[in-house]
Chains A and B, each alone.
Chain A
Amino acid sequence: MGVLVGKEIRQAWRSFRLPALFLVSLFLAIMDPLTARYMGEILARLAQGVTIVVPPPSPGQAVAQYLGDIVEIGLLVVIAITMGSVANEKASGVTTFVVTRPASRRSYVAAKFVVLAGGVMAAIIAGTLVAGLYTWTLLGAPEWGRVGLAALSVALYVWLVFSATFAASMVAGSGLAAGGLGLATMIVMGAAGAVLGGTEVGPYLPSVLVGNVQFLLAGTGDVDIWARLVRPGITALVLSALFLLLGYGRFRRQPLP
């Protein structure tokens, strides 16, 4: 599989997919703490003659803004770079190029998954570190334990949407269709949180992970890790595994051109 991982890294890097991921993450990591720090002054300059009182931002709020943007803007980038990963190669014939040689379909998709998932997670970790450190210089030190838990929450949620998009890419005949399925997953997860949030299943839904960001970084109380992180995290991981297994099961039996 090492040979295929090398191929994937080369392709992802040269096609600007991996750099784009890191650039977006780092851009947000720098812009969000800056925006949080100077928002009051920006508003004061814009609103001449009107007094606007903006409470001084906390370091946690600055990092929360970054992680919130990852869940929105970052996820769209993740879907964009993942949707064609398998689907486009199936359509173009690159998949055939690989699997007619001594490489299994499993190692082919595993190499892609490892590189993309590794890239996505590395971009979140790098971005969170940069956002945290930059916040420290602008607003003071954030609570690193809470930042870590919030980042883990976001990473689990991103992992779910990424897995769904990757699975869709294995199944679909085009990258656009896979992207649509990835977006649908995002929307369904959000809608499920809104509709079922107050019910008995609510605490198990992956949308809890997104809500964690504000809760963890704006609040100061004790954190029930089981309730806030482990329970919805397990749901996200189980759903991810299910999507991937279903996607691979279909891909394994797909005729190739």
Chain B
Amino acid sequence: MAICDAHRHGADAEVAICDAHRHGAGAEVAIRIEGLSKSFGPVKALDGLSLSVPTGKVCGFIGPNGAGKTTTMRILLGLLPRDAGTVRVLGEDVVFGKELGVRSRMAYLPENPVFPEKHTGLEVMDLVAGLYRLDPRTARKRAQMLLGEFHLEKASRRSVGTYSRGMKQRLGLAACFLPEPEVMILDEPVSALDPEGRVEVFDILTRLKGKSTVLFSSHILEDVERVSDSLLMIKGGRKVAEGPMEELLTRFAADRLKVRFRPDHVARGKDVLAGLPWVERVSDADPPGTVLVDVRPAMMDEALEETAFRLAGEGLRVMEYSRVRTDLETVFLRLTGGQPPAGR
């Protein structure tokens, strides 16, 4: 699966995956959205959004605040009507106001999980098991195991009203995992967790790869990069990028070079670099003497081939010269129109 160059239109445009490279068809796609639009009064939350999530993959769903992530999720769950487009989950059309059979195969965690008042953690798990019609004995054992895994064993007989936000998020995750759903939709699943809790949750998500399809949103891009097989990036209700994580990172990593000059050649080296036609931006980085070179879109081959040659031609002494492996945050900022901080 690859991102087609022919469909790549620069930083602000959609990075599409051509039909031949789409994530399979039918059973290979757990979630498929096509031409989805939704407005709230004059505000266009989603604008012809199309995307697909391959079966059995963990898919990170990212975008700036107000990009339309939660709206997309709510439409996927049938909580919100759409203005246009189609939404299919596990082959079933999601239509607002219609009973969905597919709900027995999905689970959802909102950003701020809420539970029925006056219930204990264990009762919430029993309720979820009952709604999914799980065998009560098996479900109880699994519930206790999950509560233990999420460090809620001691609090399991306390009212959820006494839980902290982090505890509620962990209970919400345990409740999602209980029925072993085929599709999980998680909205900021670790936003209230400490670093240790985040690692634990993502370890569990990693173990689910191949078993469940997970679509999760997060603003912690480091986590998204670590755990996701594929990535969906939206901005202003439109898709900005979609594809396997490694391919996206590789694709965008190719647009940056790192050059380290001998200390007395740094200033002149920067001047020379800034004058090259394929260079978009030059910024300082650590260690001293290091310069990051942002290359204009689609000019990386030329930049790789010519930059070192030009620098050598100017008599500049280069200690290090390499392509930068861009992290997701940089990719995100570039595709959403932000600027990566100097030095990254």
Contacts and interface: CB of A to CB of B under 8 A. Distances in A.
A111 to B, nearest CB: 11
Of the listed residues A10, A15, A97, A104, the one surrounded by the most CB atoms of chain B closer than 10 A to its CB is A97
A72 B184 CA distance: 50
Contacts of A96: 79, 110, 114
B116 A11 contact: yes
Interface residues of A, number: 27
Interface in B124-155: 127-128, 130-133
A15 B115 CA distance: 14
Interface string B83-126: 00000000000001101000110111010111111110001000
A227 interface: no
Contact of B118 (A15, A92, A99): A15
Interface stretch (A55-63, A197-205, A248-256): A248-256
A125 B317 CA distance: 97
B77 interface: yes
B97 A252 contact: yes
Contacts of B221: none
Q: Chain B interface secondary structure, helix, strand, loop or mixed? A: loop
A101 B80 contact: no
Contacts of B97: 252-253
Contact of B79 (A3, A103, A256): A256
Given A11-B118, A101-B103, A256-B79, A3 B131 contact: yes
Contact of A100 (B79, B112, B117, B133): B79
A7 B110 contact: no
Of the listed residues B77, B113, B116, B133, the one surrounded by the most CB atoms of chain A closer than 10 A to its CB is B116
Contacts of B103: 100-103
A94 interface: yes
Interface in A1-57: 2-4, 6-7, 10-11, 14-15
Given A10-B123, A255-B81, A102 B131 contact: yes
Given A96-B110, A102-B133, A255 B115 contact: no
B127 A93 contact: no
A99 B107 CA distance: 11
A126 interface: no
B185 to A, nearest CB: 9
Interface string A94-128: 10111111111000000000000000000000000
List 3 A-B pairs, minimum CB-CB distance, nearest first.
A3-B130, A93-B114, A14-B118
10 contacts: A3-B127, A93-B110, A96-B79, A97-B114, A98-B116, A99-B79, A100-B106, A255-B81, A255-B96, A256-B74
